[in-house]
Amino acid sequence: MASEEVVLLDCWASMFGMRVRIALAKKGVHYECIEQNLAHKSPLLLEMNPIHKKVPVLIHNNKPICESLVIVQYIDEVWNDKAPLMPSDAYQRAQARFWADFIDKKVYDAAWKIWRTKGEEQEGAKKDLIENLKVLENELGDKTYFGGETFGFLDVALVTYYSWFYTLEKLGNLSIEAECPKLIAWAKRCLQIESVSKSLPDSKKVLDFVLGLKQRMGI
């Protein structure tokens, strides 16, 4: 596993890209990150992800892997000598995959609408976001992490959304901490882990980025 070429095509504000960065950091993998401009997609990105033309893309020894949760599982399987991310039990793995799918369908959808819409549509999205975060908070229960005692796959999948919470709160005029205090406490625990804190951008920078995006999109 020693001399391997690992390249990550990413965008610093992408919550999906952050997942890959956390996984690589946890495994101690050295890689080159090539920041992408999604408004002007590079030939490399289009070549490596011709189907979706999105980030993140992990290129391992010139072979591309796309879709963040697919990439994280790949990283876990290849660099399996340390910091296992997936649970060892098959049923727990199924639960982790189920909830990661829930996050990307339900939480993502609601978050997307909060920063892109207003009025009634936004209000509906705010309600959905809190409802779905509460479901996740319930799933966390009294555990330290979603993975139990150890930070794992599902923690990786959700914690990256935390960097967007400030943006959603400001644009949506809501307080996620007031509604989901245990979830925020969990996120702060995750941020104590170096691989996480160094992979997540500053929340205020994300807000500036989104405000810039909205301006360019005229919304």
Partner 1 sequence: MGDQEVKLFSLWASPFGKRVEIALKIKGIKYEYFEEDLSNKSSELLKYNPVHKKLPVLLHNGKPVCESLVILEYIDETWKSERSLLPEDPYARAMARFWAKFIDDKCIAAMWGARKNSEGQEEGIEELTEHLKTLENELKGKKFFGGDEIGLVDITADLIALWLGVLLELKGIELLTKEKFPRLCEWIDDYLDHQIIKETLPDRETYRDFLLKAKF
Contact positions vs partner 1 (CB under 8 A)? 51, 60, 63, 65-67, 70-71, 73-74, 77-78, 90-91, 93-94, 97-98, 101-102, 135
Q: Judge contact between 38 and 55, C-beta under 8 A.
A: yes
Q: Residue 60 has which token pair? A: 């391992």
Burial class (CB in 10 A: 0-12, 13-18, 19+), 193: middle
CA–CA gap between residue 206 and residue 203 (Å, rounded): 5
> N- to C-terminal Cα distance for the chain?
47
Nearer to partner 1, 20 or 196 (CB): 20
Nearer to partner 1, 3 or 192 (CB): 3
CA–CA gap between residue 206 and residue 161 (Å, rounded): 11
Least CB distance to partner 1 at residue 201 (A): 26
Nearer to partner 1, 153 or 200 (CB): 153
Least CB distance to partner 1 at residue 94 (A): 4
Least CB distance to partner 1 at residue 210 (A): 24
Nearer to partner 1, 39 or 90 (CB): 90
Nearer to partner 1, 49 or 167 (CB): 49
Least CB distance to partner 1 at residue 8 (A): 15
Residue 184 Cα distances to 45, 131, 134, 158, 218, angstroms: 34, 15, 11, 11, 32
Least CB distance to partner 1 at residue 170 (A): 29
Q: Residue 161 has which token pair? A: 């959304």
Q: Judge contact between 166 and 109, C-beta under 8 A.
A: no
CA–CA gap between residue 95 and residue 182 (Å, rounded): 20
Least CB distance to partner 1 at residue 28 (A): 18
Nearer to partner 1, 47 or 101 (CB): 101
